[in-house]
Amino acid sequence: MMLEELTTPTTADLPIREIADHIRLGSGFADDGSEDAVLEVFIRSSLAAVEARIGKALITRNFSWTLTRWFETDGQALPISPVRAITSVTITKADGSSNVLDPESYRLQSDMQRSKLLAAGSALPSIPTGGQAEVVFEAGFGTWALVPADLKQAVMLLATSYYENRAGEGQVNGLPFAVSALLEKYRPARLGGAR
């Protein structure tokens, strides 16, 4: 299985001014914006860390997920939520020939914890031996403005921590406690080995 991000948030999509204000960087000086490139790196790193911890995309973008077998034939849980739309499902055979499935043969069950690709009939089309399925989908809460406030705060706190400790001194393993506390309710429940 491989999850690939097909699109990334643009610089304009990121809350660079918000984080600068949060960190209380000076403004009104000739060098305003001189830290923007550094802040962008820390925001992207914070987004990635938060998303990895909770299994959710914050800012909406496109993903491709490739797998060699369905874990359940009637529906397949997708690796990241919230999924807004499934763009395409393609089955590729071992010889490289592929077939884009008719959108009428599947549907999306959108869920905040675990969105699923469901069969419209009794089962998803089988993936041939040596073949693969590629699911292309759009996931995320929307723009930065639509991300829940507690998740935005977690990203801001983590980006601030990265900025303040950019020399690597005083770093500890894991996330700061305040960030972990904000993320706890969003972490997916893993019961019974469900995928």
- Average pLDDT for the chain: 87
The radius of gyration computed from the CA coordinates of the chain, to the nearest angstrom, equals: 20
pLDDT score at 109: 93
Whether 122 and 88 have beta carbons less than 8 Å apart is answered as no
The enclosing H or E element of 5 equals strand 2-5
Supply φ then ψ for residue 142, to 5 degrees. Answer: 130, -140
pLDDT of residue 124 exceeding 70, the answer is yes
**pLDDT digit string, tens, across residues 57-106:** 999 999 999 999 999 888 899 999 999 999 999 999 999 999 999 999 99
pLDDT score at 163: 83
* Percent of all residues in the chain with a pLDDT value above 90, rounded to a whole number: 63
pLDDT of residue 188 exceeding 80, the answer is no
Q: Which residue has the higher pLDDT, 33 or 166?
A: 166
**pLDDT digit string, tens, across residues 7-51:** 999 999 999 888 888 786 655 544 556 678 889 999 999 999 999
The enclosing H or E element of 139 equals strand 132-139
Report the distance separating Cα 38 and Cα 166, nearest Å: 10
Q: Which residue has the higher pLDDT, 168 or 47?
A: 47
pLDDT score at 154: 95
pLDDT score at 194: 47
- CA–CA distances in Å: residue 47 to residues 86, 90, 100, 171: 23, 29, 32, 18
Domains and CATH numbers, the chain: 2-58+143-186 (1.10.3230), 64-135 (no CATH)
